[in-house]
């Protein structure tokens, strides 16, 4: 689990830098500039150390450079604020692949209720699309404090809540299926 959080932090390093610096300084240009520099430095550091970077990191860096540059050129923070929406939309598309979630489930779930895992995978895709739409709506307001709240509380909270619901649902489904098989 620790490794997962380390990878997520690496993939979203520039977004974290932007958000933190903006909340401290209230300066979009400074936060955007440092986020772009941090993203480029992250790639250089990893190359020097010989560490491989994943697709998500490259995608994140590319988006930071393109959207950050648009923000700096137009002095409009909405470009950089849209970055998480693009990531959520792309992840949602990937999650539309049938059975993508099976590899992440414990064997008891995949063996007992695989059809529900597929349904849950589609539900996760729908959640990603909804969060992307919400991010675009919040970003379009240009209100950086609202966006910071949405990205740091709503996006994370929605995923934690979805995970909790999924966990409880799978426990109930697996338990009921095992009990029914024992009775038969």
Tens digits of residue pLDDT in 10-31: 667 777 888 788 889 888 889 8
For residues 86 and 28, membership in a common domain is answered with no
Question: Quick one: 85 exposed, middle or buried, by C-beta within 10 A (0-12, 13-18, 19+)?
Answer: buried
For residues 95 and 56, membership in a common domain is answered with no
For residues 102 and 20, membership in a common domain is answered with no
**pTM score over 0.85:** no
Distances (CA, A) of 143 to 33, 85, 122, 156, 174: 19, 16, 31, 19, 44
Nearest to 16 by CA among 31, 1, 33: 31
For residues 72 and 116, membership in a common domain is answered with no
The residue from 48, 79, 110 where one domain ends is 79
Read off the pLDDT of residues 166-180 as tens digits, 9 standing for 90 and up.
Answer: 999 999 999 999 999
Range of the domain at 49: 1-79
d(CA 184, CA 180): 6
For residues 62 and 95, membership in a common domain is answered with no
Phi, psi at 125, each rounded to 5° = -60, -45
The number of domains in the chain is 2
């Amino acid at each position: 689990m620790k490794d997962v959080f380390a990878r997520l932090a690496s993939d979203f390093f520039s977004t974290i830098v932007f958000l933190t610096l903006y909340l401290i300084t209230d300066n979009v240009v400074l936060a955007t500039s440092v986020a772009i520099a941090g993203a480029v430095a992250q790639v250089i550091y990893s190359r020097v150390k010989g560490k491989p970077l994943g697709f998500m990191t490259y995608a994140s860096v590319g988006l930071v450079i393109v959207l950050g540059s648009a923000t700096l050129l137009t002095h409009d923070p909405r470009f950089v604020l849209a970055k998480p929406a693009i990531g959520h939309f792309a992840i949602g598309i990937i999650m539309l692949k049938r059975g993508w979630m099976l590899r992440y489930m414990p064997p008891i779930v995949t063996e007992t209720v695989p059809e529900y895992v597929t349904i849950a995978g589609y539900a996760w895709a729908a959640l990603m699309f909804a969060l992307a739409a919400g991010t675009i709506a919040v970003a379009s307001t240009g209100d950086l404090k609202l966006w910071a709240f949405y990205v740091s509380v709503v996006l994370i909270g929605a995923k934690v809540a979805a995970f909790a619901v999924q966990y409880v649902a799978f426990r109930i489904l697996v338990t009921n299926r095992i009990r029914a098989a024992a009775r038969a």
